[in-house]
């Protein structure tokens, strides 16, 4: 049970620390550097703000985009910059030479053609109705709160762990002292018993010698 508790605490710490660094990273990229995306190891998270890809992707979903995959083909869902420099996530319906035509699953008309350099990345999967998370991560106040909670949690759990370890060590030490004390008592009792038996033997020997001496004198 103790090992399971330690594993759970480690996982919680890891999640909190990971969330903290992601919050800092997103804040720097989106608020300070004014970037549209904040990729991590070639992947980025975006919130869906329109229903043009319904029912495949709903408003408020979070989508994971692979910014490293440049192998685009028909029916792939991609995120790209449109002519107004807005981020759009639509499906490829045709590719001809250097022009890619896209269309939202819910839309009736095709988008204007784009070139590959306008593409941010390829859609991988979605996290349904989790768009609020991205908004929360963009908030600097939340970043500060996560930092404080992370620090306090790590300190408290580390302290609890140390107390638990100290308590276990103290218990083991007390057991050791108790065992040693019992062994000492046992040794003393054994020594006392040996001395008692030794005195009895000497006394019996003396008595036998006296009886033998009396018998010789009576003769």
Domain CATH number, residue 115: 2.10.109.10
Residue 68 lies in a domain: yes
- Residue 55's pLDDT is what? 92
Residue 218 lies in a domain: no
Quick one: average pLDDT of 196-207?
70
117: which 2 tokens?
């350099």
In tens, the pLDDT along 87-124 reads: 999 999 999 888 999 999 999 999 999 999 999 999 99
- Residue 184's pLDDT is what? 65
Residue 80 lies in a domain: yes
**For residue 145, how many other CB atoms are within 10 A of its CB?**
14
Distance of alpha carbon 28 from alpha carbon 39, whole angstroms = 12
The set of residues, in sequence order, having a beta carbon less than 8 Å from that of 67 and lying 6+ positions away, is 37, 39, 42, 43, 44, 120, 121
Going by pLDDT thresholds of 50, 70 and 90, the confidence category of residue 158 is low
Going by pLDDT thresholds of 50, 70 and 90, the confidence category of residue 181 is low
Nearest to 121 by CA among 34, 203, 18, 40: 40
Distance of alpha carbon 63 from alpha carbon 24, whole angstroms = 20
Query: Strand 77-81 relative to strand 99-103: parallel, antiparallel, unpaired?
Result: unpaired
Nearest to 66 by CA among 89, 85, 82, 49: 89
**SS3 call for 83:** coil
By residue range, what is the domain housing residue 91?
A: 38-135
Residue 155 lies in a domain: no
Residue 174 lies in a domain: no
Q: What are phi and psi of 129, to 5 degrees?
A: 55, 35
Residue 184 lies in a domain: no
In tens, the pLDDT along 120-156 reads: 999 999 988 777 666 666 666 776 777 777 777 766 6
Residue 143 lies in a domain: no
Provide the whole-model pTM. 0.58
* Conformation bin of residue 50: beta by default, left when phi > 0, alpha when psi is -120 to 50: beta
The set of residues, in sequence order, having a beta carbon less than 8 Å from that of 81 and lying 6+ positions away, is 87, 88, 114, 118, 120
**SS3 call for 47:** strand
In tens, the pLDDT along 28-72 reads: 777 777 787 888 888 998 889 899 999 999 988 889 999 998 899
- Residue 101's pLDDT is what? 95
Higher pLDDT, 95 or 27: 95
Residue 164 lies in a domain: no
58: which 2 tokens?
């709903």
**SS3 call for 186:** helix
Query: Total structural domains in the chain?
Result: 1
- Residue 126's pLDDT is what? 92
């Amino acid at each position: 049970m103790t090992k399971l508790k330690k594993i759970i605490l480690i996982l919680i710490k890891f999640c909190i620390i990971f969330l903290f660094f992601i919050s800092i990273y997103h804040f720097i990229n989106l608020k300070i550097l004014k970037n549209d995306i904040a990729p991590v190891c070639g992947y980025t998270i975006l919130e869906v703000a329109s229903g043009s890809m319904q029912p495949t992707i709903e408003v408020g979903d979070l989508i994971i985009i692979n910014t490293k995959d440049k192998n685009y083909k028909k029916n792939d869902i991609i995120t790209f910059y449109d002519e107004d420099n807005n981020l759009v996530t639509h499906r490829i319906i045709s590719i001809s030479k250097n022009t890619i035509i896209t269309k939202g699953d819910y839309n009736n008309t095709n988008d204007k053609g784009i070139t590959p350099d306008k593409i941010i990345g390829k859609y991988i999967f979605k996290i349904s109705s989790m768009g609020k998370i991205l908004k929360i991560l963009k908030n600097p106040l939340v970043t500060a709160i996560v930092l404080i909670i992370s620090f306090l949690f790590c300190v408290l759990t580390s302290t609890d762990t140390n107390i638990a370890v100290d308590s276990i060590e103290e218990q083991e030490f007390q057991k050791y002292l108790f065992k040693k004390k019992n062994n000492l008592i046992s040794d003393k009792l054994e020594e006392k018993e040996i001395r008692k038996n030794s005195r009895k033997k000497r006394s019996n020997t003396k008595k036998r010698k006296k009886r033998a001496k009396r018998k010789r004198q009576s003769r």
